[in-house]
């Protein structure tokens, strides 16, 4: 069901694009300990782009339960946006160069081992720019 909702966001994000859009995805990460942050691989356009970001759509999939207190962020080189769920959109990267890569960053506050570990299966972004 979540995947279907994500597919519905793609055309909406593309319509809002104005001048262009790029999409990128990567396999996820495993976070084993509280109090540590872990970053995804950089998500970047597959070809040269110019302009400034407008609407950014994101989605990530977890394998297993969401740990209490999970903090998920999507970051450019200069700023981060707190994510309030496993999918959504943000205007928080307005005026960031469209060619700039984005990364997901996950953190569970506290200390000690996460049981079970946080497993992110996949992360994706669609970046609209003009």
Of the candidates 42, 50, 36, 49, the residue with the CA atom closest to the CA atom of residue 76 = 42
Predicted local confidence at residue 5, as pLDDT: 45
Q: What is the pLDDT of residues 31-72, one digit of tens each?
A: 999 999 999 999 999 999 999 999 999 999 999 889 999 999
Q: What is the mean pLDDT of residues 82-108?
A: 97
Task: Delimit the domains of the chain by residue range.
Answer: 2-129
Kindly give the pairing relationship between strand 113-129 and strand 103-107.
Answer: unpaired
Architecture in CATH of 2-129: Sandwich (2.60)
Q: What is the pTM of this model?
A: 0.84
């Amino acid at each position: 069901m979540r995947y279907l909702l994500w597919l519905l966001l793609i055309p909406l994000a593309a319509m809002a694009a104005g001048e262009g859009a790029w999409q990128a995805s990567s396999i996820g990460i495993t976070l084993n300990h509280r109090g540590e942050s872990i970053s995804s691989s950089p998500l970047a356009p597959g070809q040269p782009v110019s302009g400034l970001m407008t609407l950014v759509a994101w989605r990530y999939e977890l394998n297993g339960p969401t740990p209490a207190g999970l903090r998920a962020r999507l970051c450019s080189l200069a700023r981060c946006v707190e994510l309030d769920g496993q999918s959504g959109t943000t205007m928080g990267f307005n005026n960031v160069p469209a060619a700039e890569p984005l990364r997901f960053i996950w953190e569970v506050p506290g200390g000690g081992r996460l049981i079970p570990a946080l497993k992110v299966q996949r992360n994706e972004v669609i970046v609209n720019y003009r």
